[in-house]
Amino acid sequence: MSKNNIQIPGLEHPVTRVALGTWAIGGWMWGGPDDDNAIRTIHTALDEGITLIDTAPVYGFGHAEELVGRALSQKPHKAFIATKLGLNWKDDKPFRDSRPERIRKEVEDSLRRLKVERIDVEQIHWPDPKTPIEDSARELERLHKEGKIGAIGVSNYSPEQMDIFRQAAPLATIQSPFNIFEQAAGKDILPYATKNKMVMLAYGALCRGLLTGKMSKDKTFPKSDLRSDDPKFQPEHFPHYIAAVDEIKKLAEKHNKSPMVFAIRWILDQGPTIALWGARKPEQISGINDVFGWTLSQEDQDQVAAILKRHVPHPIDPSFMAPPER
């Protein structure tokens, strides 16, 4: 198996360690959809060699899944699809709902929207405190035995919650926020995944665009953009993060890489990880192959840590994204 790929337990073949993330493609909280660009972006990802696409019903309330299904049906491909469930919504406002009957309905809805007979990786999007974890796990295991889903994963779960889940069903993946600016998962989630032979899907790999190196401290965001509510992008914090990115950019230049390629490589060097590269335009997915064929040195890692210590010694976690309970 190539170092550019990783095996997710339960899948027939390894997948690329960079996957396409489709939250922005769905349009919700990202300024609305752009379907033509979305289709081209998915096709570009396939052309770049990506073999895993991560999506979810809540990304545009079904729209992102429909676009993924449409794009993949238009083009021969060898891609696997990872999607999620466990979020319900009313009036475009999501809330947690992992009841067995909701899980079954979501799987059927996703199969229809994605135009497939089996979902390769099905993940519970957020833990639902009002539903016993074992009940959700058993329903996913039943769907697995019925052949409707392949690998089972969770997202935003703690190690303790995963322990409970794994008593009822096997877990192949855990999805967590993880990037240079949001490293909490590296302390407990990633070691847990390593110990239990799971793969961690790192979402927010470019920290909502911060790590692209294309923003200035004067950048503003409309209310329809989720970054308007992200503490990192507020005036009291944003300049400090931009200053850190400016230094990371210089570090990346020593390798003749862009800051976003450097940021993705940083994730891949931490353990059994897949970085989710979010994009909504074809040009935003270019350069993926620059991620492979090199690694960060210990000196690079130390310099990243020093940059953070200088500019963001008290990093802000992404808890603002957590949806409410049912």
Percent of the chain with pLDDT over 70: 98
**48 part of a folded domain:** yes
Better-scored residue on pLDDT, 286 or 123: 123
Marked catalytic residue, from 59, 157, 203, 241: 59
Q: Share the mean pLDDT of the chain.
A: 94
In this predicted structure, what is the pLDDT of residue 224? 78
Residue 63 maps to a domain: yes
Asked if the model's pLDDT at residue 90 lies above 60, the reply is: yes
User: For the purposes of burial, counting CB atoms within 10 Å of the CB of 141, is it exposed (0-12), middle (13-18) or buried (19 or more)?
Assistant: middle
pLDDT surpasses 70 at 104: yes
Catalytic-residue membership of 192: no
Q: Would 294 be classed as within a structural domain?
A: yes
Q: How confident is the model at residue 53 (pLDDT cuts 50, 70, 90)?
A: very high
Secondary structure E strands in 138-184: 149-155, 173-177
Residue 241 lies in a domain: yes
For position 157, which CATH number holds? Answer: 3.20.20.100
* Span 56-84, pLDDT tens digits: 999 988 999 999 999 999 988 889 999 99
98 — pLDDT class (breaks 50, 70, 90): very high
Structurally, the chain folds into a number of domains equal to 1
Going by pLDDT thresholds of 50, 70 and 90, the confidence category of residue 226 is confident
Q: Is 20 helix (H, G, I), strand (E, B) or coil?
A: strand
| Cα–Cα distance for residue pair 226/208, rounded to 1 Å | 9
> For 257-282, how does the pLDDT look when each residue is reduced to its tens digit (9 = 90+)?
999 999 999 999 999 999 999 888 89
How far, in Å, are 59, 90, 133, 212, 214 from residue 29 at the CA level? 9, 16, 29, 19, 20
Could you tell me the residue range of the domain that residue 204 belongs to? 5-321
C-alpha–C-alpha distance, residues 288 and 268, integer Å: 13
- For residue 86, give every residue at least 6 positions away whose Cβ sits within 8 Å of its Cβ, in sequence order, or none: 96, 97, 98, 102, 103, 106, 124, 125, 126, 128, 136
Among candidates 53, 34, 49, 24, which has minimal Cα distance to 227? 24
Residue 326 lies in a domain: no
pTM for the complete prediction? 0.94
